[in-house]
Structure 1
Amino acid sequence: MTTTTTRSLLDLVPVIPVVVIDRVEDAVPLARALVDGGLPVIELTLRTPVAIEAIERIAAEVPEILVGAGTIVAPQQAMLAAAAGAQFLVSPGSTPSLLGAMTDTGLPHLPGVATVSEVLALLEAGYTEMKFFPAEAAGGAKFLASIHSPVQAARFCPTGGISISNAADYLALPNVGCVGGSWITPAAAMGAQEWTRIRTLAAQAATLGEHPGSAPG
């Protein structure tokens, strides 16, 4: 998200559900389950043929959720997602053309970083909020803790390898606003359309912001 955007994606919920949808008919009930569980934000990844249509349906039928498009890896995807009704964008990395395309949509966006040099490049471009990906593989919570002092202007949404067992470790850090997690929408639950289970997992994740540094019992 650029410094000119007034609403911060990092301060809405402790966990942004990162979701892969294979069946477009699952989009609306899934979004409603997340809202009912206390997580009114969804990052729907553009990894399946139905992703754009799923964004359209959620935007049209579940206005109480903030729907975003993730895995933006090409400039044209930013435009397609915005046209479908996405309200924010997330990319796993950043290039000048990708940043330009996301900026051109006028939507809040979180470009991805994995190194200190990439963080500095985005700070120079006017960004203070970023996705840290792949979080666990790129150094995890220890990495973010170690760069906070020299790079205090940057805040992060770590994604990649985050689970209920380590999310609180990230959320306890001063430079982490939220985390992205796919554990809230496990493939088995999605396949079986177990919306009650997903609502329960969302409710559990929503409590992580209440007690930083410890997972719920």
Structure 2
Amino acid sequence: MPQFRRAAGHARPGRGGGGAVGSGKNRSGGKMTSVAELRARLAETPILPVMAIKDADEGLADIDGLVAAGAPVIEILFRTPEAPAVLKAAKARHPHCLFGAGTMLLARHVRLALDAGADFTVSPGLTPALQASVAASGLPHIPGVQTASETMQACEYGYSLMKYYPSEASNGPVVLADYANIFEGVGFVTTGGIETALLPAYGAVRNIVAVGGSWMLPSRHTPGSPCLQQQAAIFKAARAATER
């Protein structure tokens, strides 16, 4: 069976949304992030906090706590009016952390992400119009996929890092284990219904780069539950067991 082969972090010039961008400046004045760097940072701590901002002060407090706990990458969902300002403030406070703008649906969302200084963008799916916007932005983009056809389309655009959503509702670990045999070189960030108890199942699937959600936010932390780095260790232990 023919397989899709693409080196991690590579995208065809002018096609994938910022696929191999590694030079130039973003709107916050920092160097553009490359997909290779983003993928490496996610692999470093494969737990991606995903935040829906309702209150700016509470959101920033959660971000401060996540960065203190060792989170190198955080996604902020652009679903509320507060989100762009919180991302901009968080980037100023923590310039070495990578901040993504999530829920990109339209060109205006991509412009908001650029103006806020986002390091990358994330969408639940991908349309030709959205693809044109993210490609023009120069930012690395993680498109959402679920079906084989959607994954093939994203591969044609040059993407090698994709979001699989909603994961638990569609038996993510089982589906992605099959995709690993077809879409060689493609990595997935899975979100949707995941919690600490499920991390071993996700860590055991070799093409899952990271898992995302909001269960690990400091404001939701319950006494005795694993901290972010302990959760990352659970995921990595399952991955190491499959690679022996």
| The two structures share one fold, judged by TM-score above 0.5 | yes
Distance in 2 between the 1:119 and 1:113 partners? 6
Matched-pair contact (CA < 8 Å) for 1:119–1:154: no
Distance in 2 between the 1:174 and 1:23 partners? 37
What letter is aligned with 1:22? K
Matched-pair contact (CA < 8 Å) for 1:14–1:208: no
After superposition, the C-alpha distances for 1:103-122 in whole angstroms (9 at most, x for unaligned) are 21111110000100000011
Distance in 1 between the 2:40 and 2:197 partners? 21
Alignment pair present for 1:95 and 2:127: yes
Pick one of 15, 36, 41 that aligns with 2:47.
Answer: 15
How far did residue 11 of structure 1 move?
Answer: 3.0
Distance in 1 between the 2:177 and 2:238 partners? 15
What letter is aligned with 2:38? L
Give percent identity, aligned residues only.
Answer: 36
What is residue 110 of structure 2 aligned with on the other side?
78
What is residue 69 of structure 1 aligned with on the other side?
101
After superposition, the C-alpha distances for 1:138-183 in whole angstroms (9 at most, x for unaligned) are 2310011112212223211111111111123112211111111211
What letter is aligned with 2:199? A
Distance in 2 between the 1:209 and 1:91 partners? 24
Distance in 2 between the 1:112 and 1:35 partners? 25
C-alpha distance 147-210 of structure 1, shift in aligned 2 (>3 A): closer
Pick one of 207, 217, 221 that aligns with 1:185.
Answer: 217
Distance in 2 between the 1:67 and 1:105 partners? 15
RMSD: 2.3
Alignment pair present for 1:205 and 2:243: no
C-alpha distance 151-40 of structure 1, shift in aligned 2 (>3 A): closer
TM-score by length of 1: 0.86
Question: 5+ unaligned residues in a row in structure 1: which ranges?
Answer: none
Pick one of 171, 177, 181 that aligns with 1:139.
Answer: 171
Matched-pair contact (CA < 8 Å) for 2:165–2:192: yes
Alignment pair present for 1:121 and 2:161: no
Tell me the secondary structure at the aligned position of residue 178 of structure 1: strand
Which deviates the most, 21-30 or 128-137? 21-30
